[in-house]
Structure formats: structure tokens, C-alpha cells
Amino acid sequence: MRREPNRRPGARAGALVLVTVAALATGCASSPRTGAPTPPTPPQPQSLQADSVASQEFGLLAGGGWAPAWALWSDSAQQAISQADFVRLNTECRPPAGIAYVIDRSTTLDPATVRVDWHRAGATGSNTLLYQAGRWRFVPDEGALAEYRLGVEPLVQQRRAAGSCH
């Protein structure tokens, strides 16, 4: 075995360890492993998707698609009336069918809330859409929700007395 002058045995191994430690300390090594995979970033709500849900809701309401319209509602709105009762209400006391809702304006209030302003024949209104559990959900206005909480029978009687059943 030949030794080079002025070299100590093991100096090469020591230098290799020193270079490795320096590389790790300065961040030149690959990203550290924490043991748990990084969760994917959840999709961000897009206001155009909210507009699409509003258009779908209004189309279903204008066309008599009561059950699928109710299915687009927010969780809290669905608590006001069951799907079966919403269908029964609108079957026993039909609102005018075939008259389209027109969305006049859509306003993003915050990343998870959009307000749509609409008109339909002589009526105007606003509704909110909320981003819940990765989806946009429709919220009927507070007046409608309060009526739904009355129950089907009293609400049908009230609407018949007002002549709003068709």
C-alpha cells in the first residue's frame, strides 16, 4: 500500500463526512421527509360555477323540477322543508311554470359566497350561493325559508287564498 506524503489515513473519509454535513445544513439535499404525505390543496371555489348552479336552480324551478331543485340547496336551507314536502307543496299549489328566471347580476361577496340578482316576469329578487363541502349550494331567500317552515298545509292554504296557485 502506497501512502502519499502529507496525507493522514482517514482524511478522505473525514472530508466526505464534512461535505455531506455541509450540504445538508445548507439545504442542498432533497426535501425532508416528515413521514406523512402532504395533503392535496382543496379546489378553490370559482364564482362562475356558482352562476352555473344558480342557472340550473332557476331552470329547474321554472320547469317544475322540484326534487332536483331542492337537492341543490345548502344544508341549512334543506332543514327548512324536506324534499318530499317541497315537491308536495309545489305539486298541490303550482307556481307559474315555463317563465324563465333571468340573472341580472352576480356579485362575489367573499370566496365562498356569491349573490345573484334576478327577475322573472314582474318579480325581482336576490339569492345567495354558498360554497360547502367542495360544491356551490343554492340558498332560497329568508322570506321563502320562513314560509317553508310553516309546513305544507298552512302554506298551501295561504297561497290558495292569495290566488297564487296555478
User: Can you tell me the mean pLDDT for 97-105?
Assistant: 93
Q: State how many domains the chain has.
A: 1
In a domain, 35, yes or no: no
pLDDT in tens, 52-96: 999 999 999 999 999 999 999 999 999 999 999 999 999 999 988
In a domain, 61, yes or no: yes
Is 153:88 a contact under the CB 8 Å cutoff? no
Q: Identify the CATH number of the domain in which residue 137 sits.
A: 3.10.450.100
The reported pLDDT for the residue numbered 15 is 41
39 has pLDDT over 60: yes
Answer whether 0.95 is exceeded by the pTM: no
Cβ neighbour number for residue 78 with a 10 Å cutoff: 16
The reported pLDDT for the residue numbered 23 is 41
In a domain, 52, yes or no: yes
In a domain, 5, yes or no: no
The reported pLDDT for the residue numbered 166 is 86
25 vs 74, residue with greater confidence = 74
In a domain, 89, yes or no: yes
The reported pLDDT for the residue numbered 130 is 98
Q: 125 is in which domain, residue-wise?
A: 47-161
Mean pLDDT, the chain, whole residue set: 84
In a domain, 34, yes or no: no
SS3 of 151, please?
coil
Q: In what order do the strands lie in the sheet containing 113-120?
A: 102-110, 113-120, 123-132, 135-139
In a domain, 1, yes or no: no
In a domain, 7, yes or no: no
pLDDT in tens, 122-147: 899 999 999 999 999 999 999 999 99
User: Can you tell me the mean pLDDT for 152-166?
Assistant: 94
Read out DSSP for 65-88? -HHHHHHTB-HHHHTTS-HHHHHH
